[in-house]
Amino acid sequence: MQFPKDLSLYPKCYEKMIWMFSGWKTHKCYAEYGIDGSLCSFRRYLSVVENHCPPLPSESVSYKLVETDTIAKIMLHMGILADPNINFGQRSSSGGPLGELLQWTDLIACLFLLGHNLYISTDKATLLQHVDLFPVGSPCPNDRQGVDLIITDIVGLRSFNSRKDFIMQHKCRIRLLDSFGTHVEFNYKSYFNAHQGDLGMKGKSRNPWGGNELKLLQYWTFFPHTPDNDFLGFAIHKSNTKPMFERNSRGRPVSLIYGKEKYMWSGSEAVINILKNLTEVHATVADAKDSSGMFSNVINHGFLNGSAVAALMKSSNIFFGLGFPLEGPAPLEAIAHGAVFINPKFIPPKSRRNTMFLHEKPTLREFTSQSPYLERFGKPHVYTVDFSNTSALENALMQAIKEKPDPFVPEEYTPEGMLIRVHVLISRDLCSNTSVWPPIHAFLPKLGVPDMSCEDVCHGSNFVCEPSFFSLINSATLMERTSISMMVFFSIAGCSPFQLANSTEPYAPFKCSLQSNTLMFSCASRPPAGRGVVRICPCRDYLLEQVAFCRNCVS
């Protein structure tokens, strides 16, 4: 049996092959995967199941998206509903947050449509019943008797504390719904504790939602904002509901304010008065009991269900943000119904360093507006405006009122776009040490500029940073397809490979230093300002409006 000459991506292949000669008889799961004592069966198992060896020439892996009849056993635990202290379910019916529930319901619908077996729990007792259905102790990473995937949220992860053996065995199968994302600096307790003073507001640098010590790709986000994490998203469903009233039938343009609880309006009197001067203002504030103050001359419909909100959006010219909530689904729903979203711009950007709402979030992301994702689309659907500049706000409103945009939903937020993305996400194997998605042909190494993150380096070339490829630039050679050795690449970077040092900083690998702790790979981490650190970055291209996929990765 022949093996490729270069096994740098499969360093344990020979070792595992040797172990298989006697080890395959130690558990029945190996035979269930077709191992019969032959070299070919060892090689096939170690390539297809554990990814420790390259595939046989006749079984080269195709990364084109194809239909599969593999039925996975997926455990879903909705921690936000299981924790009575959060009271999430009750609040959702009286004006509370709905984004997380929207994501959960869309995810469950996708998994059901894909034909998988689902074990759903919204309380700890049911969760533990499901856990006890699956055996602990099989050495096969995808034992057919076990669970294939565990999907929960950060709150829900704590519900597994009484089944630590189970969760440790299946740690690589955990996926966490994490709206704002998790950066590597907050993922590992030891790193955060050592650098706590540099990672937040002075005297208030806490990390209650971090320290989970998973691979960063095990976190699934609401928007595609953190390339270190995987993007799950949600689906925008076009409603057949009729408008509450015909758009442009009221004599004045109609605006709908984005803010369904009274506290969200606090401090916005001046901009709301500008809006009142130009439009008929509508609202859906659940807890506003009178029509005085800011609510004078505002048509407040109170709490509305989803269909009624859609009907009101179809009637509105303007959907007007007040700066909070951050990154909710409503602006996307508004432009899907033909309204123009007025997106408040933040100067300076908001982050855990300067904003109380964000000061415990496990991310250093900087929010440049209420909805940074929507900034990329711009006019006629979105106007991003500095509200402190009243003349700019007035001009933006007058222009937006004249717009007649067609309803618009980015491809990645259509039901079809989410369905195909969920299919790929649940197929992504994070239990092995080799990257199988995206395919290696998408790998594009880039040399950065001083003090810049790989996220920004790749974005500057119209690419995205792909964390799965860090192992390629952190090894002795680049992939054969590039025809560039790592020696040449580091020479371009300005140092000899024989002078390379090791580093555990999250911005490694960088000029003359490799990352010695692969758990610290990070697209988002910026080197310290002024030190001139040049990062070496793994980029890839992407599909317009479906950033999770490279251009030639799906068919």
Highest-pLDDT range among 10-19, 136-145, 246-255, 432-441: 246-255
Could you tell me if 40 and 124 lie in one domain? Answer: no
pLDDT at 484: 45
- Which has the minimum average pLDDT: 33-37, 95-99, 206-210, 427-431? 95-99
Helix (H) and strand (E) counts for the chain? Answer: 20, 18
The pLDDT-based confidence of 301 (bands split at 50, 70, 90) is very high
Six token digits for residue 74: 């997926």
| pLDDT, average across residues 17-24 | 90
Backbone φ and ψ for 162, nearest 5 degrees, come out as -85, 0
Query: Does residue 307 surpass a pLDDT of 50?
Result: yes
| Domain-embedded: residue 480 | yes
> Greater confidence, 264 or 289?
264
DSSP 46: H
The answer on pLDDT for 192 being more than 60 is yes
In a domain, 208, yes or no: yes
What is the number of other CB atoms lying within 10 angstroms of the CB of residue 27? 14
Examine residue 433 and state whether it is found in any structural domain, yes or no.
no
Clarify whether residues 52 and 77 are in a common domain: no
Q: Quote the CA–CA distance of 290 and 140 in Å, as a whole number.
A: 63
Q: What is the mean pLDDT of the chain?
A: 87
Q: What is the CATH number of the domain that holds 339?
A: 3.40.50.2000
Q: Are residues 162 and 264 in the same domain?
A: no
- Residue 237 resides in a domain: no
pLDDT at 4 over 80: no
Same structural domain, 286 and 395? yes
| Residues forming beta bridges with residue 46, ordered by sequence position | none
Name the pLDDT band for 311 (thresholds 50, 70, 90).
very high
Percent of the chain with pLDDT over 90: 59
pLDDT at 95: 60
Name the domain boundary from 62, 87, 111: 62
Q: With bands split at pLDDT 50, 70 and 90, how would you rate the model's confidence at 83? A: confident
Residues 499 and 402 in one domain: no
Over range 64-69, report the average pLDDT.
42
Within a domain: residue 67? no
pLDDT at 437: 77
**Is residue 105 very low, low, confident or very high in pLDDT (cuts 50, 70, 90)?**
very high
Is residue 289 predicted with pLDDT exceeding 60? yes
Phi, psi of 235 (to 5 degrees): -120, 135
Mean pLDDT check: name the lowest of 64-78, 107-121, 255-269, 416-430.
Answer: 64-78
Say how far apart CA 155 and CA 141 lie, in whole Å: 26
Whole-number percent of the chain with pLDDT over 70:
87
- Quick check: 251 and 356 in contact, CB under 8 A? no
* Structural domain includes residue 324: yes
492 against 54, higher pLDDT: 54
pLDDT for residue 250 is more than 70: yes
Tell me whether residue 419 is in a domain: no
Place of tokens 């004006």: 95
Do 355 and 482 reside in the same domain of the chain?
A: no
Q: How many domains does the chain have?
A: 4
Query: What stretches of 158-264 show up as alpha helix (H) in DSSP?
Result: 164-169, 184-187, 189-195
Which residue would you say has higher pLDDT here, 477 or 6?
Answer: 6
Shared-domain flag, residues 349 and 464: no
User: Which of 135-149, 212-226, 235-249, 526-540 bottoms out in mean pLDDT, i.e. has the lowest?
Assistant: 135-149
So what's the pLDDT on residue 479? Answer: 32
Q: Are residues 325 and 444 in the same domain?
A: no
Which pLDDT score is estimated for 32?
75
pLDDT(153) > 70? yes
What digits encode the pLDDT tens for the residues 414-424? Answer: 999 999 999 99
In a domain, 429, yes or no: no
379 pLDDT above the threshold of 50:
yes
**Integer Cα distance of 469 and 538 in angstroms:** 6
Examine the domain organization and report whether 58 and 78 are in the same domain: no
Residues 341 and 450 in one domain: no
Domain end residue (candidates: 62, 84, 115) = 62
Give the pLDDT band of residue 27 (cuts 50, 70, 90).
confident
291 in the same domain as 168: no
Tokens 């103050």 belong to residue: 293
Lowest mean pLDDT of 165-179, 221-235, 470-484, name the range. Answer: 470-484
Instruction: Grade residue 84 by pLDDT with cuts at 50, 70 and 90.
Output: confident
Q: Domain range spanning residue 2?
A: 1-62
Residue-level pLDDT at 73: 93
Given pLDDT bands bounded at 50, 70 and 90, which one contains residue 434?
low
Which of 408, 425, 448 is the last residue before a domain boundary? 408
Assess whether 114 and 209 both reside in one domain: yes
Q: Indicate if the pLDDT at residue 483 is higher than 60.
A: no
Q: Say yes or no to pLDDT of 202 above 80.
A: no
65 falls in which pLDDT band (50, 70, 90)? very low
pLDDT in tens, 351-361: 999 999 999 99
H helix or E strand, kind and range, residue 300 = strand 298-300
The pLDDT score that the predictor gives to residue 207 is 92
